[in-house]
Amino acid sequence: MNRTDRLLGLILFLQSRRYTTAADMAAHFGLSLRTIYRDMKALAEAGVPVLAEAGVGYSLMRGYLLPPVNFTEEEAMALTTGAMLLERAAAPTLSAHMESALQKVRTVLSPARREELLHLGRAMGATALAPDPESATRTDLALVQKALTRRQPLRFDYRGHNKPHAAPREVEPLGLLRYLGHWHLIAWCRLRGALRDFRTDRMQHTVMLDEHFAPRDDFDLPAYVREHMPRPELRATVRFHPDAADRARREWWMGVASTPDFPRIGARDATRDNARDGGKQPASDAGNREAGHTGHDAASVTLTLAAANWNHLADWLLSFGPLATVLDPPQLRALLAERVEAAARHHRQEPGRS
């Protein structure tokens, strides 16, 4: 980075914060403290209103703004990609704010670059499901973010899981998490007098109160996640058909690791067993071939799956049919067999009969 770009970067860094220290800037830009002091002096001499307060740090005079800056091709493409992904992962209201911001980005681009971005937007897509249209009538995620940053309470009606009616709540927002396909507000509930987890799509008639609450210095979002999120302490070893292994790696969000050293039947073992059985093909293999399955050949992939409970993992593994084989533990294998047998009994019954 040349000196001009570095000085511009320092101004943008200062603009994004109320105060910052020379040590913070040095760490961010990978520079020495001596260089930061020299650059701060250069900015002041160039007329940039840099303020320094002993024991606090540096800041820019309130109201000082740089003129619009241009974006590199890579930055503009990254923002376009982010907008597309946000459209599939966030509330419609937040997507609208992102589109508005992206429109401002386009206004500072050259006509040729603008046309490239429009083409890129048409040429990209995502297969993830779009947010539920009904969520547009519920809580505005931007309102939750405002309350979070301004430390202002929220009041809303909340309908919990399997609850017939919504109940009024008044909370102090402390954190915002996205997991299991939904946004969750972590907040201090004034009704319960404790921390609570609220799914934002279940919050209705949300308003931000005209007051401020004191920060809770004892709350730490990463610590909350470690303490309250399901801990995937269980481990299962599963052998997947090559066609299914890639899907398993993409879908199982609690953790996947390859297990190359797990014992498996090799070619010599299979030949020896076949000879011992008089050259007959094993019944299970014959059944697989009749059903159009080739079984788990030498190219099978063995994975170690982390899980918080066996029920969730078993439900997911059932969707693979014969393309997944549980090697360990036996408890999970038995649970899968029970689920399959129960499903078979259910579907053999005539509809309407118990």
Q: Which of 284, 262, 272, 241 is nearest to 328 (CA)?
A: 262
Residue 89's pLDDT is 63
Contact 58, 14 (CB under 8 A): yes
The chain-wide mean pLDDT, for the chain, equals 80
**Tens digits of per-residue pLDDT, 302-319?**
999 999 889 989 999 999
Say yes or no to pLDDT of 138 above 80.
Answer: no
Banded model confidence at residue 260, pLDDT cuts 50, 70, 90: low
In the predicted model, is pLDDT for residue 45 greater than 50? Answer: yes
Report, as an integer, the average pLDDT of 263-274.
40
Over residues 58-94, the pLDDT tens digits come to: 998 887 766 656 677 787 788 778 777 776 666 666 7
The Cα 48–Cα 8 span in angstroms is: 11
Confidence (pTM):
0.55
pLDDT digits (tens, 9 = 90+) for 192-211: 999 999 999 899 999 999 99
User: Which H or E element spans position 260?
Assistant: none
Q: Work out the pLDDT band at 99, boundaries 50, 70, 90.
A: confident
pLDDT of residue 276: 44
pLDDT exceeding 90 applies to what percent of the chain? 35
Q: Find residue 58's DSSP bridge partners.
A: 20, 52
Q: Which of 126-130, 237-241, 330-334 has the lowest mean pLDDT?
A: 126-130
Average pLDDT over residues 233-241: 93
121 versus 323: the higher-pLDDT residue is 323
Question: Can you give the pLDDT at residue 269?
Answer: 41
pLDDT at position 329: 95
* Alpha-helix runs per DSSP H in the chain: 3-15, 22-29, 33-45, 73-89, 92-107, 111-123, 141-150, 221-228, 242-251, 267-276, 283-290, 310-318, 330-348
Q: 264 or 243, which is more confident?
A: 243
